[in-house]
Structure 1
Amino acid sequence: MLDPLGALTDAFTTFLFGKVETTRLPVRTSTGQAQAVYLPTAAPGLGDSGVIIGREVYSGKGYIYDPFQLYGQQLPAPHWLVLGESGNGKSALEKTYVLRQLRFRDRQVVVLDAQGEDGVGEWNLIAEQLGITPIRLDPTAALNGGIRLNPLDPSITTTGQLALLRTIIEVAMGHGLDERSGFALKVAHSTVLGEFGGGDDGSGPPRQPVLTDIVEQLRHPEAEAAEAMNVDIDDVRAWGLDVALVLDRLVDGDLRGMFDGPTSAGIDLDAPLIVFDLSHIDRNSIAMPILMAIVGVWLEHTWIRPDRKKRIFLVEEAWHIINSPFVAQLFQRLLKFGRRLGLSFVAVVHHLSDVVDGAAAREAAAILKMASTRTIYAQKADEARSTGQVLGLPRWAVEIIPTLTPGIAVWDVNGNVQVVKHLITEAERPLVYTDRAMTEASEVSAASALPTDEARALEAAADAEAEQRAEALALARQLQDESSETVA
């Protein structure tokens, strides 16, 4: 507010000369110089606690992501969807993410490894480096003492067993069970569980019921089952015939050996990393979704426990799960149940159209809705547009997806959308490299691919640098607190 003398002076000047506006002459310049007027801005990061992924492309800031740290405040669900065409870095991201998560003591990871290379799964080298033997599910090897997973494992609840049996049959048949077939299956399952309270001779420890017992009971149902429904015994047998034929394929057909016996001993559920090697399974057969369903339910009842550990369940070729309505329903329940017990589900898919346009579109939409984190690597323009429409990406992100180079992806973490370049250390590179068959590196043996002394030294230096940064941060916070106290 002007003082009276100043106001009088302004009024007198205006009376004599009129109101004079300041005239600014235009300035001609280049965009290179003018950009200094409009300083660049970058979206805020996700915090400084968690796993280092790489660098945010536009700002150069480090990009750190951890669903367990972000869950609740910034992330409504800890599940993660990874999309992109082959050769753009999805596998490298998955593997480095798992390796870096395992540096935390309270982490456990299960991987369904559906990709094969050199006769083994892609994760074989990482498992060997960590001293872990992959659980290799192979129909031919199972007949010679290989790994078996029993859908009727006693560790699975009765309700879980019946739901799993229904899913196996529905996937194999391609449609849902009708009421009569469902009744025949339920009665057979109940009868089998009632029979195996003791050993084969009526004494000793009970043996696990197996699928063969279910098939036998479907073929020869008990009279009590018919009497309970006031129907003829032949009717109950007829209702269960198709079910018996489907299960017989797992017992004595082309899928025998993997599910038709007690669960193999020696599977270490306390290991930091558990790898199910599915690379010997035909990815186009019904065995893959059936196997994923059995593994998922088995893990739900045996691996996920309320022990405050953070668990990651990573599934490659996840379209086998999401594209089957019956398997998708099982995993939808697993995701809801596991979230309360610290489970983060990671689904890796090549194309979103593989799942949203399939038979399980409704179930797929529900699973996608629970994935609050989406990572999209390079896609063709039309695929990028459909992906952006389904996931609700901003226009600028959709336009940039077709131009992304390998290793760079669009990250959408609950609406925080950034472009991130994934960084791989020299120590990690030999372990995550998955194109040996197409390059000269195919001649390199697994032993030579292990980290060298130089790589170990680099890793140790990185650890030391991280400790120094942590100490510096603690000191800065201490000085800030002391300064605040002084001001007060």
Structure 2
Amino acid sequence: MKIPSHHATTAHLGAIFPFFSENHMLAKSVVIGSNLFGGTFCFDPFEMYANGVISNPNMVVFGQIGMGKSSFIKTYLFRQSIFGRKAWIIDPKGEYSQLAVALNCQPIILRPNGRIKLNPLELGTSDLLVALVESGMKRGLRPIERAGMDISLSIAKAKAKDANLHHATLPMVLNELLDPNESFSSSLFIDQGELKKEIKEIALELRRMVSGDLRGMFDGPTSRGVTPKAKCVVIDLSNLYSSHSLSAVMACATSWLQSEMIERERDGGLFMVIDEAWAVLEDIGVSKWLQKSFKLARSYGVSNIAVMHRFSDLLSGGESGSVQEKLG
């Protein structure tokens, strides 16, 4: 008796291959879909990190337009909320507002000259300032410029303390850069007039955030009542999605969240989502700053999620061997 042959794809044959069975899912994991064997596929970076399965909890999600990557992220974060996880989201296209509402939160909508401001200097370091200026000037800072940025921030922080302010602001730093005093110049062993010329370019670039096309979003203390204490924080940047300064705006918003991240209570895992991450990766100054920030994730119980269209987005900022490629 001749039995007719059976034709099947490798995907189906994999399901009936003998001696294989699905792994048991972790007790505290979120369902994502089904695996090759027809069983449940679950993934939780915090549980896997705690069990030594992965070396860090950060994630990258790839998907072409219309393939459902945003839907996946929103569903994943909503399910994670059941386990007490929180989500902070940088939303360049305004796609996560419904998730915020579903979790009884209101998105933070930023726009030039809008009613809401975030202070990106609450973190208290000059790294963001350097990234913003390098982003605008498309070059690295010279030693005198970097030193000038550090000292101007230190002076601004001291003046903020004298004025009973919690944090320095961008306008305060800008004032020190535009008009460095004698103490400022003497600390660098340079003539006051010469110092003013040396740091004028970085001062003018930073001015954009204060009185230029990006004014009214990051040029003062954080607006009263704006806090990331809720289950979900969505920073809606859709009003600036077409701006050439999108990467700088995303960096400022992320910096504000990171300052809150450090001070938050460790009452569960936190997801920090950066959608349209290609906008950051194509900018060398902001990329370097973000890479440094991502490395701090494990110590603060944070899983960073970068959302991109394709693998080539990792190379969008530079050619083979470039700094951008290495950062990606």
| TM-score between both structures, scaled by the size of structure 2 | 0.88
Change in 2 beyond 3 A, CA 1:317/1:241: same
Q: 1:53 aligns with which of 11, 29, 32?
A: 32
Q: Tell me the percent identity.
A: 29
- Separation of aligned partners in 1, 2:318 and 2:250: 18
Q: Residue in 1 aligned with 2:17?
A: 40
Q: 2:99 aligns with which of 109, 123, 126?
A: 126
Change in 2 beyond 3 A, CA 1:328/1:224: same
Q: 1:104 aligns with which of 83, 91, 96?
A: 83
Q: How far apart are 1:39 and its partner, in Å?
A: 4.5
Change in 2 beyond 3 A, CA 1:197/1:138: same
- Separation of aligned partners in 1, 2:300 and 2:159: 34
Q: 2:258 aligns with which of 287, 300, 318?
A: 300
Q: Residue in 2 aligned with 1:218?
A: 177
Q: In structure 2, what residue type is equivalent to 1:291?
A: V
Q: Residue in 1 aligned with 2:154?
A: 190
Q: How far apart are 1:339 and its partner, in Å?
A: 1.3
Q: How far apart are 1:359 and its partner, in Å?
A: 2.9
Q: How far apart are 1:219 and its partner, in Å?
A: 2.0
Q: Residue in 1 aligned with 2:66?
A: 87
Change in 2 beyond 3 A, CA 1:31/1:186: same
Q: Residue in 2 aligned with 1:315?
A: 274
- Paired residue secondary structure (1:31): coil
Q: Residue in 2 aligned with 1:138?
A: 111
- Separation of aligned partners in 2, 1:93 and 1:52: 11
Change in 2 beyond 3 A, CA 1:77/1:46: farther
- Specify the structure having the higher radius of gyration (Cα): 1
Change in 2 beyond 3 A, CA 1:197/1:359: same
Q: Counterparts in 2 of 1:376-391, with a 5 A limit? A: none
C-alpha contact (below 8 Å) 1:138/1:280 kept by paired residues = yes
Q: How far apart are 1:344 and its partner, in Å?
A: 0.9
Q: In structure 2, what residue type is equivalent to 1:318?
A: A
- Separation of aligned partners in 1, 2:178 and 2:32: 55
C-alpha contact (below 8 Å) 2:272/2:302 kept by paired residues = yes
C-alpha contact (below 8 Å) 1:306/1:341 kept by paired residues = no
- Separation of aligned partners in 2, 1:64 and 1:334: 27
Q: Counterparts in 2 of 1:160-179, with a 5 A limit? A: 160=125, 162-179=126-143
Q: In structure 2, what residue type is equivalent to 1:81?
A: V
- Separation of aligned partners in 1, 2:112 and 2:285: 23
Q: 2:43 aligns with which of 65, 70, 75?
A: 65
| Larger RCO, structures 1/2 (Cα 8 Å, 6+ apart) | 2
C-alpha contact (below 8 Å) 2:62/2:307 kept by paired residues = yes
Q: Residue in 1 aligned with 2:202?
A: 243
- Paired residue secondary structure (1:102): helix
- Separation of aligned partners in 2, 1:364 and 1:43: 39
Q: Residue in 1 aligned with 2:289?
A: 330
The yes-or-no answer on 1:289 pairing with 2:289 is: no
Higher mean Cα deviation, 356-365 or 215-224? 356-365
User: Which structure 2 residue ranges, 5 or more long, are not aligned?
Assistant: none
- Paired residue secondary structure (1:247): helix
Q: Counterparts in 2 of 1:325-404, with a 5 A limit? A: 325-359=284-318, 362=323, 365-366=326-327
C-alpha contact (below 8 Å) 1:297/1:330 kept by paired residues = no
C-alpha contact (below 8 Å) 1:164/1:293 kept by paired residues = yes
C-alpha contact (below 8 Å) 2:261/2:300 kept by paired residues = no
Change in 2 beyond 3 A, CA 1:276/1:186: same
Structure 1 residues 271-330: Cα deviation after superposition (integer angstroms, max 9, x where no partner): 1111111111134511x2112212222222222446252011111101122222222222
- Separation of aligned partners in 1, 2:186 and 2:294: 40
- Paired residue secondary structure (2:148): helix
Change in 2 beyond 3 A, CA 1:167/1:104: same
Q: How far apart are 1:365 and its partner, in Å?
A: 4.6
| TM-score between both structures, scaled by the size of structure 1 | 0.60
Q: In structure 2, what residue type is equivalent to 1:133?
A: Q
C-alpha contact (below 8 Å) 1:46/1:65 kept by paired residues = no
Q: How far apart are 1:216 and its partner, in Å?
A: 2.0
C-alpha contact (below 8 Å) 1:308/1:341 kept by paired residues = no
The yes-or-no answer on 1:147 pairing with 2:124 is: no
Change in 2 beyond 3 A, CA 1:33/1:266: closer
- Paired residue secondary structure (1:340): helix
C-alpha contact (below 8 Å) 2:280/2:286 kept by paired residues = yes
Q: In structure 2, what residue type is equivalent to 1:94?
A: I
